[in-house]
Amino acid sequence: MNPLITWRGTVSVLALFAAASMASAGDITATFNTPTFDRWMYPYNSASPQGSETEATVFSVIGSDTEWAFDNRDGQMILGYATGGVIPAGQPAANYRVRSARVVARVSRDNAYIYDGTPDSFRTLLPETDPDFLADEDAGQPVELFMCGYRGGWSLDGPMAFGESTPFHNGAPFPFPARGIRNAFAAEYDAGGALIDNSNNRDQRREVRPLAIGTANLAQGAPVPRDTDFVFQIDLSNPQAVRYLRESLAAGKVNLVISSLAITQQQSSNVPAFYCREMPAAVGGVPARLEISVCVGHPADWDCSGTVDVADIFAFLASWFAGDGDFDAGGATDVADIFAFLTAWFGA
C-alpha cells in the first residue's frame, strides 16, 4: 500500500480527535552576542590568566620542521555559550527542534590569509609524493566549525566543566612533543557515538565532517580584510549536528570550536585570527555570536503552540511535503518520519 495514501487516511481519522500536552516552552529565537567564555587553545598561549587573550588564531604547522611535535590543527578557538537562561534547559534532547543555528566570528587581522569557502580533503595536505595526494582545486584552506570534545576528565558540565581558565592539558605547561593532549578539541562523533579528536585528522588519513564551513562575502582566493564577518551556518541536515545541539541545549551550554588546517609557520602572523570577547570595542573588537532558533517542547508539537493537537498533524504534513519534515533527525525527510511523528503524537 502507498504509505502516502495511508498517511492521508490517518489524517482524516485523527481529525475526529484532539490530544493536548502543555509541555512546550514555545518558539525561541535568540542571539548570544558574546560568549560566556572564549579560549585560544594553543600550547604556547602565554596569556595570564588563561583565557584573557584578545584574539585567537586557528592554523596548522603541516610542512614545518616541527610538525611532528604538534597537532595538525595546532591553534584552535573554543567558544562557550550559556544558553539555559534564555532557552530552558533540562528537557529531553528530543524536545529541542532546532530550526536554524549559526556562529558569526569577526576577523581581527588584515589580509593575513587567503579566503577558501569550500571544503578540502585531507589528501590535499599530504606530500605530493604520497600516492593518496590530491591536488587542491583552489587556493587556501577553509575555516571550520566543530563540536567540542574533552579529555583529562574535563567535560561540558559539572565540577570538571571546561572553561576559560582550564589548562591546555593536565601536567607540565609545555610538554614536548605535544600531540593529542589538549583538554578541549575540535570533535565529531565516531560510529559508536563518542566524541573523537579531529586535531590530527590529516595524519590519521580521515576526512572530517564539520558543523559548518566559514563563508564570507569575498571572492574565492581573495585576501581576507580585517573586520570581515565569517558566517558558520550549521548544517542541520547532518544528524550529528542536530544531536549535538539538542544535547547541548538540554544541558544549557553550547561549546563550539573554530579550527582550520590553514598552513603557516610557528609564530607567524599570517593566519586566520578572530576577535575574542576581551578585545575592547573601542578598538574594534566584536566577539563571536551565536544565533539560534529552536522550538522547545514535546516533539509532536510541530506548530510550537504549546499544545499537541490536530493542528500539529497538518503542520507536520505541510512540512513533510515541502521536504522539511525530518522528524527522526535521520538526515532526510522520508516515510519513516511520518510513522515516527505519529508514534510521538499518539504518545503525547
pLDDT bucket at 49, cuts 50 / 70 / 90 = confident
Instruction: Please report the pLDDT score of residue 268 as a whole number.
Output: 58
Instruction: Please report the pLDDT score of residue 265 as a whole number.
Output: 53
**Distance between CA atoms of residues 155 and 333, nearest Å:** 33
Instruction: Please report the pLDDT score of residue 267 as a whole number.
Output: 53
120 Cβ neighbours under 8 A, 6+ residues apart? 136, 141, 142, 261
Q: Is 285 exposed, middle or buried (0-12, 13-18, 19+ CB in 10 A)?
A: middle
In whole numbers, what is the pLDDT of the chain averaged over residues? 90
Better pLDDT: 175 or 252: 252
Neighbours of 157 (CB within 10 A): 13
- pLDDT exceeds cutoff 60 at 275: yes
Task: List the alpha helices (DSSP H) in 15-171.
Answer: none
Instruction: Please report the pLDDT score of residue 25 as a whole number.
Output: 64
**Cα angle: 135, vertex 103, 229; to 5 degrees:** 70
Give the predicted TM-score (pTM) of the model: 0.91
Instruction: Please report the pLDDT score of residue 298 as a whole number.
Output: 96
Segment 89-96 mean pLDDT: 97
Chain segment 284-330, per-residue pLDDT in tens: 999 999 999 999 999 999 999 999 999 999 999 999 999 999 999 99
Chain segment 146-191, per-residue pLDDT in tens: 999 999 999 999 999 999 999 999 988 777 778 999 999 999 999 9
Better pLDDT: 172 or 53: 53
What cell was used for 131?
600516492
User: In which residue are the cell numbers 549536528 written?
Assistant: 241
Segment 116-145 mean pLDDT: 95
pLDDT bucket at 4, cuts 50 / 70 / 90 = very low
Instruction: Please report the pLDDT score of residue 227 as a whole number.
Output: 97
Residue 80's alpha-carbon distances to 15, 253, 259, 287, 290, in angstroms, are 44, 7, 15, 12, 10
Domain residue spans of the chain: 3-24+303-347, 27-296
Lowest mean pLDDT among 6-10, 244-248, 265-269: 6-10
